[in-house]
C-alpha cells in the first residue's frame, strides 16, 4: 500500500514537472533558450577545434555527434521560447534579446529559416566525414548564427 501510494505520488510529480517543462513560464523560457544557444555554441566550438584549429584530434564520429546536436537544437522549435513577457530580463534572469525579435516576424522568419537550413546541411555533410565539405558547412552555419545575432541580440 505504502509502495503504491509512493509510486503514484512520484508518477504525479513526474507528470507535473513534464507539464511545467512543456509550457515553460517566461523566466524558464529565457533560461531554456540561453541554455539551447550555449549548448550549440559548445558543439560549434568542438567542430571548430577539430576541423579548423586542430586543437582537438580529428574524429568524424565526434564531429557528427556535435553537428547532430546543433541540428536537433535548431529543429526543436526554439521560437516557442520567445513568447510575450520574455522581452526583458526577469529578476536575476538576464536576457540579451532585442525588441525587434518580437516585432519583425518576417525578418526573424528569414534568419531562422537560413539557420535551420544551414544546421541541417551541416548534419548531413558531417555524415560523410569529408573535412573540406564540413568546414564549408560549418562556416555557413556560423554565418547563420551571426545573421540572427546581428539583428536580434544585443551586442555582447
Residue 138 sits in the site that holds ligand HEC (CB under 6 A): no
* 110: Cα within 13 Å, side-chain hemisphere: 8
The C-alpha atoms of residue 1 and residue 151 are separated, in whole angstroms, by: 59
Residue 123 sits in the site that holds ligand HEC (CB under 6 A): no
Return the closest-CA partner of residue 125 out of 110, 135, 115, 116.
135
Stretch that binds ligand HEC, among 1-9, 49-57, 127-135, 146-154 (CB under 6 A): 146-154
The C-alpha atoms of residue 131 and residue 136 are separated, in whole angstroms, by: 9
Residue 140 sits in the site that holds ligand HEC (CB under 6 A): no
Query: Which residues lie near ligand HEC (CB under 6 A)?
Result: 30, 33-34, 37-38, 40-41, 44, 70, 95-97, 101, 111-112, 115, 141, 144-145, 148-149, 152-153
Amino acid at each position: 500500500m505504502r509502495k503504491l501510494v509512493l509510486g503514484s505520488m512520484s508518477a504525479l510529480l513526474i507528470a507535473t514537472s513534464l507539464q511545467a517543462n512543456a509550457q515553460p513560464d517566461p523566466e524558464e523560457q529565457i533560461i531554456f533558450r540561453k541554455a539551447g544557444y550555449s549548448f550549440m555554441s559548445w558543439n560549434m566550438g568542438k567542430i571548430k577545434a577539430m576541423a579548423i584549429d586542430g586543437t582537438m584530434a580529428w574524429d568524424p564520429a565526434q564531429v557528427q555527434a556535435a553537428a547532430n546536436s546543433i541540428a536537433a537544437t535548431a529543429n526543436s522549435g526554439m521560437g516557442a521560447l520567445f513568447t510575450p513577457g520574455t522581452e526583458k530580463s526577469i529578476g536575476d534572469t538576464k536576457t540579451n534579446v532585442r525588441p525587434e525579435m518580437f516585432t519583425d516576424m518576417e525578418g526573424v522568419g528569414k534568419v531562422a529559416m537560413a539557420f535551420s537550413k544551414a544546421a541541417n546541411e551541416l548534419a548531413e555533410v558531417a555524415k560523410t566525414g569529408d573535412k573540406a565539405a564540413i568546414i564549408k558547412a560549418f562556416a555557413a552555419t556560423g554565418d547563420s548564427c551571426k545573421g540572427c545575432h546581428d539583428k536580434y541580440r544585443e551586442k555582447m
